[in-house]
Each structure stands twice: as C-alpha cells, then as structure tokens.
C-alpha cells in the first residue's frame, strides 16, 4: 500500500487560522490592559476630588488577575473579564450582512471582554447564591474594530462594527457608560410570594451561607429588548 502524501494546504489552513487567532488575542489583551489603566486613572481622579469627604463613598479598583478587573463603587461591583478564546459572530448576526465582513471573513473573528454587575455586599458577606448580570460585552477584531452588545448606555452608543475603532478614549467612554448604567440599575424588591417561605436551617445559617438569593431583578423574568431590561411578573 502506497504511503499517502501529506496535504500541505491543510497545514497552511491550520497555520493561517492559528496566526489570526493569536493576533486577535494579543490585540484584545492589549486593549484589556488599557481598560485597567483607565480604571486606575478614574480611581485616582475620584480620590483627588473626594478624599476625606464625609460620608465616605468607595470608588476602588482591584486587579483580580491577568484576565479579570474589578471596579467597586457605592454598593456595586463591575467585573470586566476577558475571555481567553476567540469567537466568530453567528451567521445570522447583523454584522455578517455588512460589506465589511463580506469583503474579508477573517474580520468576523473577535476577542471578547464581558462586563458583569454584582452587588458589593454579595462579595463582602460571601453570599454565594446572589445573582449578577452581564450588562455588556465588547467584541474586538484584528483591525481593532469593536462592537458592544449591551443595555441602554452601553448597547445604544457603540454598535457600528464597520467603522468603530477601539482606542483609549473609546475605552474611557465604555467604562463610564457601564458605571452610569449600573448607577441607574437599581435593586428592586422581589415579589412577596418568592421570599415568604424560609426554612429553619436557612434561618439558622450565618448570613454568609444563607440560600436567600439577592439580585437587582430577582423574581422577574427578562425579555430581550434593544434598549433596556423589561420586567415582567
């Protein structure tokens, strides 16, 4: 039986895809480092303006590792998390219909930075059953073009993937918009029937281990909306 010859075009396809993903990863990581730098600048500016003022309202940054950043302000926490993998937009996504993608399909591959909102007390008291919400996610491709899927302040302002190029000023606007959205995303009382029953074991447990969930919209079901959350009973 003759030995089959290796398909060198297969090797080349492998290398091209891997090089593309490595390039996008590096550009996403460099952008994430700018997120960190901007957050530190915001914390410094806040401290310079309000240091020593009463009452003390926290505005603090915490480096949670190479791929996680935390910004705590008032009673809220924003966590920015960079995914280490590269993704492609689904075929039915709106950006796939643009000439920008049709002219070069490699532009549809992106790194992703997710933005989550939690209550600060959830971490302070180790309430492991509390709920957080993804309020936005930033897609970044090899050209440094970016798109944000998100709610209100985030999703309405940055959605032109064809022409929007990510830079330091844009990152500042993204962080500011995430903070503004979080400030206006208030904690609502859950429906009475959802919380009226508590077991003896739950009541005896310490606050850190209680199974009563807390979240800004706990007890409500969400529907997709282009601008904002819709609450339904």
Mean pLDDT of 132-150: 93
Q: Are the C-beta atoms of 116 and 79 separated by less than 8 Å?
A: yes
User: 123: closest CA among 164, 70, 186?
Assistant: 70
Q: Give residue-wise pLDDT tens across range 142-182.
A: 999 999 988 666 655 556 899 999 999 999 999 999 999 99
* CB-based burial label for 221 (10 Å; 0-12, 13-18, 19+): exposed
The residue ranking higher by pLDDT, 100 or 4, is: 100
What's the pTM value of the predicted model, to 2 decimals?
Answer: 0.81
pLDDT in tens, 175-221: 999 999 999 877 666 666 766 666 666 656 644 455 556 555 543 33
Q: What percent of the chain stands above pLDDT 90?
A: 58
Q: If DSSP codes are grouped into helix, strand and coil, which group holds residue 51?
A: coil
Q: Which two tokens stand for residue 174?
A: 């993204």
Task: Output the CA–CA distances (angstroms, integers) from residue 104 to 21, 111, 167, 179, 184, in the order listed.
Answer: 15, 17, 22, 35, 39
Q: How does pLDDT run across 93-121, given as a tens digit for each residue?
A: 989 999 999 999 999 999 999 999 999 99
Helix (H, G, I), strand (E, B) or coil at 173: helix
H or E element in which residue 32 lies: helix 8-50
Cis check for the bond before 146: say yes or no (omega within 30 of 0). no
């Amino acid at each position: 039986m003759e030995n089959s010859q290796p398909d060198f075009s297969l090797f080349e396809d492998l290398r091209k895809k891997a090089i593309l993903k490595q390039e996008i990863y590096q550009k996403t990581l460099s952008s994430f480092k700018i997120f960190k730098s901007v957050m530190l600048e915001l914390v410094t500016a806040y401290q310079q303006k309000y240091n020593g003022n009463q009452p003390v309202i926290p505005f603090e940054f915490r480096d949670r590792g190479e791929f996680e950043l935390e910004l705590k302000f008032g009673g809220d926490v924003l966590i920015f998390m960079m995914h280490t993998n590269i993704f492609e937009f689904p075929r039915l996504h709106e950006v796939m219909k643009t000439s920008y993608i049709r002219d070069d399909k490699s532009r549809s591959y992106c790194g992703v930075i997710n933005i989550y909102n939690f209550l600060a007390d959830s971490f302070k008291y180790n309430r492991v059953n509390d709920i957080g919400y993804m309020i936005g996610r930033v897609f970044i491709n090899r050209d440094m073009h970016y798109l944000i899927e998100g709610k209100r302040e985030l999703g309405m302002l940055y959605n032109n993937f064809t022409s929007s190029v990510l830079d330091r000023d844009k990152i500042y606007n993204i962080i500011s918009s995430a903070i503004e959205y979080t400030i206006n995303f208030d904690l609502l009382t859950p429906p009475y029937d959802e919380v009226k029953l508590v077991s003896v074991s739950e009541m005896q447990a310490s606050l850190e281990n209680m199974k009563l969930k807390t979240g800004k919209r706990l007890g409500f079901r969400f529907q997709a909306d282009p601008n904002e959350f819709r609450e339904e009973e």
